[in-house]
Amino acid sequence: GTARKERAPMHGSSDERTRTGMSPESLKRAFVDSMFYVQARYWEVATPHDLYMAAAYTVRDRMLERWIRTAETYRKADARTVCYLSAEYLLGPQLGNNLINLGIVDSARQGARDLGIDLQEILDQEPEPGLGNGGLGRLAACYLDSLATLSIPAIGYGIRYEHGIFDQKIVDGWQVEDCDLWLTNGNPWEIPRPLLRYPVRFGGHTEPYTDEHGRFRVRWVPELDLYGMAYDTPVLGFGNDNTNLLRLWHATAGRSFDLQAFHKGDYYGAVNAKVGAENITKVLYPNDEPEVGKELRLKQQYFFVSCSLQDMVRVHLQHAPNLEGFHERFAAQLNDTHPSIAVAELMRLCLDEHGMDWERAWEITRRTFAYTNHTLLPEALETWPVELFGRLLPRHLEIIYEINARFLDELRMRYPFDPERVARMSLIEEGPVRRVRMAHLATVGSFAVNGVAAIHSELVKSTVLRDFHELWPEKFHNITNGVTPRRFIQLSNPDLCGIITDLAGPGWARDAENLRTLEPHADDAAFQQRWQAMKRAAKERLAARIREATGAVVDPQSLFDIQVKRIHEYKRQHLNLLHIVALYHRIKQGTDSDPTPRTFVFGGKAAPGYFMAKLIIKLIHSVAEVINRDPEVNQRLRVVFVPNFNVKNAECIYPAADLSEQISTAGKEASGTGNMKFSMNGALTIGTLDGANVEIRDAVGHENFFLFGLTVAEVERTLAEGYRPWEYYRSHDELREVIDLLRSGLFSHGDPDLFRPLTDSLLQHDPYLLLADYPAYVEAQARAGDAFRDPAGWTRMSILNAARTGFFSSDRAIREYCRNIWQVEPMPVSLAAGNGSVP
Ligand code: CJB
């Protein structure tokens, strides 16, 4: 109360600033202090992990004033806030990024050096928070960085998985999954908030009753209750003082464990239920899995959404007497359909917990949410069996039925003679197993829907959400994805950062359009030399990493041709392999016409249950084994697989690429974001007209991009006309020889059956049209190989790629979300202006 406010000690005073100073001297003193007071270690026995922890706490202390001041500023201004709801945040290591965003990299390096420590060794200690599968989770992390950098009041809400994405080990060329243990040695970046907990309920039944005003109401009598507890991580902006909040929820057992068992006096049953409750945030689900036993996944989704909405309601009620105006305080972005149960949960909170009537609740709900679609793949569009839904969330199923009943009534009025359309648009898919269509729920319950690249957004409108687009054309947007230049240039590629800073000044990383200052130097010989040295150094670093991880030796002079991303048939790592085997075959036959030495680098995880993807990993290793040990070939070709592709490895890989493989079947990759990271680091792309490749090619210039392959329209036509891959096999000699080699046992120690599932799939169905695209791909690869033999020409193209990809900064993407979707304004925080009270 007031007494506390009056007695509040001054904060942000010179004392405080001395304690958390940024000079090498201050950092050093704080580091030594943390070693003593936090790690409780003396110098001689400190492990590398102790050094990392002490460094992390030193840096964290320097983030807190900004963080607290930011919370205070937003709260006092009663600022409209973005809530990003995402089941995944693939953050990657925090220490290096936080040093950059605080602007103290040099200070820290100096301080460490004074103590006889190499900063890099400390950075290498950090286990990465891999709380995401791939592109979607990494996008969420880039967006948090940009939101803070653009001074946008924002909270990231998600799940604190105890085990993130699995560790990939390779045993005899096969992927083996190992448990991720990122939390075992402690996480210095998070602040547990044991008192910030919300109850979350599951199961049971609902019952009608009449409230004190004589109104009909529904009460949910759940079977199980548990709590979600907040763990907060600060997210620094770059070049400003704003520091936003990432709030991840951890599940703990509720007050009475299992209500039923407890009431029945079944103590041990209740204890078991407690264990079950805590399982909810145990582990991240790898995606691309067949849908079985996913009950826990729906529980995870509801769990984090419910905690997040209850948290938003709490904040809202600090400023307002009721939920009126909730949608003016918050814009909540649904990162894919994973959090789309939020639509039903906010309805429930408004109706059941806050006594609002249906119309008002619906108005508030659909003005709160916006939905981003990230995929058109039918198998990735989430639906939940009605039976499962009703068992876990009986009240929500009722609400969804009611939303649907009202929606279908509207549709029937609008399309009285089109019952098929009405059935197509229903939130419920009819069939032997009735299912809830989460994308429809998200679309109906949101004020905006967007795709993640221009071509993808058009396809959303013309395919999966076509009927909805016809009904509400103004609801649909495109916001092409972006990536943060802080992590993917400044942190990953210090030499490139130096080059840009010399030309554009230190502010470039806040405005990536400044990369254009590189453009006039594209033909300058001295500049080209510096550029080549930068690339060369990055390739040497990657070569060293590869040697360490796999034992393989690669030549940094060769063309580094890299494909890193999740392993999936639609991404066509096996098309890349067909080309590699063709090159091998040509060398063995003496018909080779592409003498450019190449190193092919692969990396990526396969979903544990995705057999074909795992077989592709085995095939990469098998081809690598044969090629790398054949002296007739291995001076010209090398193939390596970097195990455990994650953010940390990625930072070392993107800067080292000459050629970036973006070769998905047109229409399948919603956007891609690796494509952007490669380009920004001066790689040329070999790619199809898919996802953001289309816009990258337009941005960098068609002459600086190796295009090949069928367009979306051609893919559709080819399939519609009855695609027969066998005919390509028959009529294309080299293609036939390549596939026959795969079936010969050459790459499988004489076992002709090992890769049969892959070759059979290609010859019989080839749903991703590898054979149709093969000739064009091989031809584009030949162009790339030729171009690489002209260093000046290649370097020019490389420079132009980096210079022209500023558009793909996540800052641009977030500006578009702010303006076109969220209607939110920046709220800069100033440390100097803080009034000094401790909250
Ligand atoms: N994406 O990573 C995922 N997981 C999904 O479940 C669905 C889509 C990816 O999202 C990225 C960010 O928008 C896209 O760049 C990528 O094309 C898409 O596959």
As a whole number of angstroms, the distance between CA 59 and CA 100 comes to 11
Is the CB of 439 within 6 Å of ligand 1? no
Reported pTM: 0.96
> Encoding tokens for residue 704?
């600086």
Q: Looking at per-residue confidence, does 479 or 17 come out higher?
A: 479
Exposed, middle or buried by CB within 10 Å (0-12, 13-18, 19+), for 117? middle
pLDDT of 73 > 80? The answer is yes
- Which residue shows structure tokens 């792309």? 685
What three-state secondary structure class fits 794?
A: helix
pLDDT, position 507: 87
Q: Which of 163, 456, 539, 565 is catalytic?
A: 565
**DSSP states of 483-512 as a string?**
B-HIIIIIIT-HHHHHHHHHHH-GGGGG-G
As a whole number of angstroms, the distance between CA 354 and CA 317 comes to 11
Note whether 294 and 278 are within 8 A (CB). no
Is the CB of 670 within 6 Å of ligand 1? yes
Is the CB of 88 within 6 Å of ligand 1? no
pLDDT of 6 > 70? The answer is no
pLDDT, position 592: 86
Mutate to test the pocket of ligand 1, among 90, 285, 372, 374 (most ligand atoms within 8 A of CB): 374
pLDDT tens sequence across 77-121: 999 999 999 999 999 999 999 999 999 999 999 999 999 999 999
pLDDT tens sequence across 304-347: 999 999 999 999 999 999 999 999 999 999 999 999 999 999 99
Q: Which of 338, 374, 440, 475 is catalytic?
A: 374
Q: Note whether 78-92+128-168+176-478 and 490-710+769-803 share their fold.
A: yes
Q: What is the dihedral of CA 291, 87, 249, 438, to 10 degrees?
A: -70
Q: Which of 247, 297, 566, 638 is catalytic?
A: 566
Ligand 1: which atom is nearest the Cα of residue 377? 7
Ligand 1: which atom is nearest the Cα of residue 692? 15
As a whole number of angstroms, the distance between CA 346 and CA 395 comes to 12
State the first-to-last Cα distance of the chain, in angstroms, to the nearest integer: 11
pLDDT, position 294: 86
pLDDT of 835 > 80? The answer is no
pLDDT of 261 > 70? The answer is no
Q: Looking at the chain, how many residues does it have?
A: 839
Is the CB of 481 within 6 Å of ligand 1? yes
pLDDT, position 17: 61
pLDDT cut 90: percent of the chain above it = 90
DSSP-assigned beta bridge partners for residue 600: 561, 639
Q: Name the DSSP letter for residue 163.
A: B
As a whole number of angstroms, the distance between CA 73 and CA 754 comes to 62
Q: Whose CA is nearest to atom 4 of ligand 1?
A: 136
**339 C-alpha to ligand 1 centroid (Å):** 15
**375 C-alpha to ligand 1 centroid (Å):** 6
Q: Is 372 annotated as catalytic?
A: no
Is the CB of 134 within 6 Å of ligand 1? yes
Ligand 1: which atom is nearest the Cα of residue 672? 15
Rounded to 5 degrees, what are φ and ψ at 754? Answer: -55, -45
As a whole number of angstroms, the distance between CA 19 and CA 35 comes to 16
DSSP-assigned beta bridge partners for residue 283: 163
**670 C-alpha to ligand 1 centroid (Å):** 6
Other C-beta atoms closer than 10 Å to the C-beta of 29 total 16
pLDDT of 2 > 50? The answer is no
**510 C-alpha to ligand 1 centroid (Å):** 25
pLDDT of 833 > 90? The answer is no
Range in 23-37, 99-113, 259-273, 746-760 the model is least confident about:
259-273
Q: Whose CA is nearest to atom 16 of ligand 1?
A: 672
User: Alpha-carbon torsion 713, 718, 719, 725, what sign?
Assistant: negative
pLDDT tens sequence across 56-67: 999 999 999 999
pLDDT, position 313: 98
**135 C-alpha to ligand 1 centroid (Å):** 5
Q: Helices H, strands E: what count in the chain?
A: 35, 24
**313 C-alpha to ligand 1 centroid (Å):** 30
Is the CB of 452 within 6 Å of ligand 1? yes
Q: Which of 535, 571, 598, 668 is catalytic?
A: 571
DSSP-assigned beta bridge partners for residue 331: 82
ipTM of this model? 0.98
Q: Is 477 annotated as catalytic?
A: no
E strand intervals along 34-153? 81-85, 89-90, 130-131
Q: Name the DSSP letter for residue 520.
A: G
What three-state secondary structure class fits 284?
A: coil
Query: What band does 274 get if pLDDT is binned at 50, 70 and 90?
Result: confident
Q: Is 521 annotated as catalytic?
A: no
As a whole number of angstroms, the distance between CA 283 and CA 166 comes to 9
Note whether 468 and 443 are within 8 A (CB). yes
Ligand 1: which atom is nearest the Cα of residue 669? 17
The closest of 341, 432, 434, 400 to 206, measured between CA atoms, is 400
Query: What band does 838 get if pLDDT is binned at 50, 70 and 90?
Result: very low
Is the CB of 139 within 6 Å of ligand 1? yes
Ligand 1: which atom is nearest the Cα of residue 691? 17
> Encoding tokens for residue 708?
């090949």
**136 C-alpha to ligand 1 centroid (Å):** 5
Query: What band does 3 get if pLDDT is binned at 50, 70 and 90?
Result: very low
Q: Is 374 annotated as catalytic?
A: yes
**60 C-alpha to ligand 1 centroid (Å):** 31
Q: Is 536 annotated as catalytic?
A: no
pLDDT tens sequence across 380-421: 899 999 999 999 999 999 999 999 999 999 999 999 999 999
Q: Whose CA is nearest to atom 8 of ligand 1?
A: 374
Q: At what angle do helices 95-102 and 105-114 cross, to 10 degrees?
A: 120
Is the CB of 141 within 6 Å of ligand 1? no
pLDDT tens sequence across 722-745: 999 999 999 999 999 999 999 999
pLDDT of 586 > 80? The answer is yes
pLDDT of 7 > 90? The answer is no
**672 C-alpha to ligand 1 centroid (Å):** 7
597-617 mean pLDDT: 97
Exposed, middle or buried by CB within 10 Å (0-12, 13-18, 19+), for 474? exposed
pLDDT tens sequence across 545-563: 999 999 999 999 999 999 9
Question: Where is 159: in which H helix or E strand?
Answer: strand 154-159
Amino acid at 827: M
pLDDT of 684 > 80? The answer is yes
Exposed, middle or buried by CB within 10 Å (0-12, 13-18, 19+), for 15? exposed
Task: Indicate the average pLDDT of the chain.
Answer: 94
Mutate to test the pocket of ligand 1, among 86, 88, 90, 136 (most ligand atoms within 8 A of CB): 136
As a whole number of angstroms, the distance between CA 333 and CA 369 comes to 6
Note whether 479 and 407 are within 8 A (CB). no
pLDDT, position 15: 52
**How do the domains of the chain map onto residue ranges?**
1-77+93-127, 78-92+128-168+176-478, 490-710+769-803
List the CATH code of the domain at 78-92+128-168+176-478. Answer: 3.40.50.2000
**HSE of 705, CA atoms in CB hemisphere, 13 A:** 27
Is the CB of 287 within 6 Å of ligand 1? yes
Q: Is 571 annotated as catalytic?
A: yes
Q: Whose CA is nearest to atom 12 of ligand 1?
A: 136
**Ramachandran region of residue 12, left (φ > 0), alpha (ψ -120 to 50) or beta?**
left
Note whether 450 and 333 are within 8 A (CB). no
**512 C-alpha to ligand 1 centroid (Å):** 23
Query: What band does 291 get if pLDDT is binned at 50, 70 and 90?
Result: low
Ligand 1: which atom is nearest the Cα of residue 673? 15
Homologous superfamily of domain range 490-710+769-803: Glycogen Phosphorylase B; (3.40.50.2000)
